[in-house]
Chain A
Amino acid sequence: MASSISVCRACLTRPSTLIGRAPRLLRPTSDIHRLLPTTSTVPSLILASAFSTTPSLPAGGGAVNRAKLKSSKLKQTKKKKPKTHFKIWNHAEFPKYALTDAMRYIRAFEVGNDVRQAKYDLAVKIYTQKNGPTVKNRIQLPKAVNTDIRICVFAEGKKADAAREAGAVVVGTKDVWEQIKEGVINFDRRSHAVPRTGTVVTNPAAIISAMIGASEYRERQGVVRIAIGQLGFSTEELRDNIKVFMDQLAKDLARIEDFDKRINEVVLSSTHSPAFSLSGEFRNIGREEDLEITTEVVEGAVAAEGAPVAAVA
């Protein structure tokens, strides 16, 4: 089959495929070509008939599927070790932001948005195996994030009063059931009381206080995400929330035995803002770029620029 196409055996190029270079390749200039008899006009063809570089066929005489051979070879070379851990990056050289700096930027990006709807999100990257146990827990933050939860309790007597005190919006028995049937109360079927989720209890007051303001978090793809605050929270409130959450997360990670789980990075973002890698400091001190911007700093900068003052004033 090799002899059917015109190929220069010396340099393994097919003249027809390289139109621009063909004359150079056909000209007998290389050392190998000079060894050939000068009478030949097309040296490559003669060469091909003189010997064959194709390996001899196997003894059985069966055809070899070269495509298969080739692909199997490729596969062998490209085979990689399966990754056991989620990928983590070395972010030591990247800038980190103090909490107040990050919050200042986030508030600027979120300007004009509803301070109750927009939330601060915290993402904690964990160095962990791809399989194995994951972190999943509930937390009661010092200042609750989801405050719009409304709870309906079916109870009577003292327990009804206790539930009302704990923060239930609707409390009753048959009358409430009738109202739900008639569609007076907008009732979410998905959050119906079920023993499995722990919402059928003997002491409703305790679980209500746990539900209002509690938030769930779990590890997905090596990252734990949680809404950590509303946009309207002050820096101190957010700091306390983050502190409590990180403490509990560290305990959760330590509780999982036989598996090495470590916190890799903590990133703060919000509903409409970019993400900021947190440095762990509350306020940044000493770095030039994070100088408190007072009027003196600005005047200095303007004086250095010179021209824009006149243009504006």
Chain B
Amino acid sequence: MPSPTSRLRWLRAKLYSVRNGTGAAILPPNISRIALSFNYKSNNGHMGPRKFFRECLPRLKYHNPDVDMIVTRKEALEGPATLTIHFSDVPVDIKSQLNKKKQTTPVVRETTSTIDIDMLNRYPDDIMEELVQKTSATLYSEPPRSPELEEEAEYLAVKRENELKEKYKLQRADRRKGKDDALKDSILA
């Protein structure tokens, strides 16, 4: 098992990037499902959908854990690339669910209407913008850190920098000493 330090360093960055960025939006509760359909190969304008799937969809899923996200990919080289949004009736107890933080067994909600977004030959940002417009979703951005935390982070950064400076100084001295020792040895030999 890798050490906790090495695991943590990139995990922190990874988690930040899944919370923030293009695609970090909170969908209204009447959306039950988002279905993507595009090709495996990026020919004929299927690169944008793929990028959307890889970059934006994880963020969307993180902020909307209860929305089903289904990805269907085809072997074809041509054809449409669509994003289908399924709307359904808002479950009655959604508010009480939020308050109680109680998870019930996932109930398949019946789709009342759908909207299609054409993803062919488009960039992920562009697709996301249309998605937000059509669903009137709320964009998410990380709440700013409290001033105390900010101060502490600054202090820690400075401390770390100083520690590194000391460390490098010692390392440099060691290297120099090692060189001199090696030279002495070679002369004595």
Contact = CB atoms under 8 A, between A and B. Distances in A.
A89 B14 contact: no
Interface stretch (A22-30, A103-111, A138-146, A244-252): A103-111
Interface in A1-44: 2, 5, 7, 12-14, 17
Contact of B8 (A94, A112, A294): A94
B138 A283 contact: no
A74 to B, nearest CB: 10
B103 A235 contact: yes
Q: Which of A123, A222, A295 has the most chain B CB within a 10 Å cutoff?
A: A295
Contact of A109 (B53, B58, B138): B58
A275 B1 CA distance: 11
B113 interface: no
Interface string A196-235: 0000000000000000000000000111000000000011
A294 B18 contact: no
Interface string B161-189: 00000000000000000000001110111
B106 A308 contact: no
Interface in A287-311: 292-295, 297-302, 304-305, 308-309
Chain A at the B interface: mostly helix, strand, loop or mixed?
A: mixed
A297 B143 contact: yes
Interface stretch (B63-71, B78-86, B116-124): B63-71
Nearest to B129: A312
Given A299-B138, A302-B141, A108 B4 contact: no
Contacts of B1: 123, 125, 221-223, 265, 267
A15 B148 CA distance: 59
A112 B65 contact: no
A277 interface: yes
A67 B141 CA distance: 65
A174 interface: no
Nearest to A104: B65
A189 interface: no
Given A107-B65, A111-B58, A299-B138, A274 B14 contact: yes
Interface residues of B, number: 45
Chain B at the A interface: mostly helix, strand, loop or mixed?
A: helix
A308 B24 CA distance: 13
Contact of B140 (A67, A267, A298): A298
A79 interface: no
B144 A89 contact: no
Interface string B6-41: 011011001100100000001000000000100000
Contact of B71 (A112, A221, A293, A301): A112
A111 B61 contact: yes
21 contacts: A5-B187, A12-B184, A13-B187, A54-B188, A104-B62, A105-B15, A105-B62, A108-B18, A111-B57, A112-B36, A234-B103, A234-B106, A274-B7, A277-B7, A292-B101, A293-B63, A295-B138, A298-B140, A301-B143, A309-B139, A312-B139
Interface of B: 1, 3-5, 7-8, 10-11, 14-15, 18, 26, 36, 53, 57-63, 65, 69-71, 98, 101, 103, 105-106, 129, 132, 138-144, 183-185, 187-189
Q: Which 7 A/B pairs are nearest by Cβ-Cβ distance?
A: A112-B71, A108-B62, A91-B4, A111-B61, A301-B143, A108-B61, A108-B58
Given A295-B138, A297-B143, 10 more contacts: A5-B187, A91-B4, A107-B65, A108-B65, A112-B57, A221-B1, A234-B106, A275-B7, A294-B98, A298-B139
Interface of A: 2, 5, 7, 12-14, 17, 53-54, 66-67, 70, 89, 91, 94-95, 104-105, 107-109, 111-112, 123, 125, 221-223, 234-236, 265, 267, 274-277, 283, 292-295, 297-302, 304-305, 308-309, 312
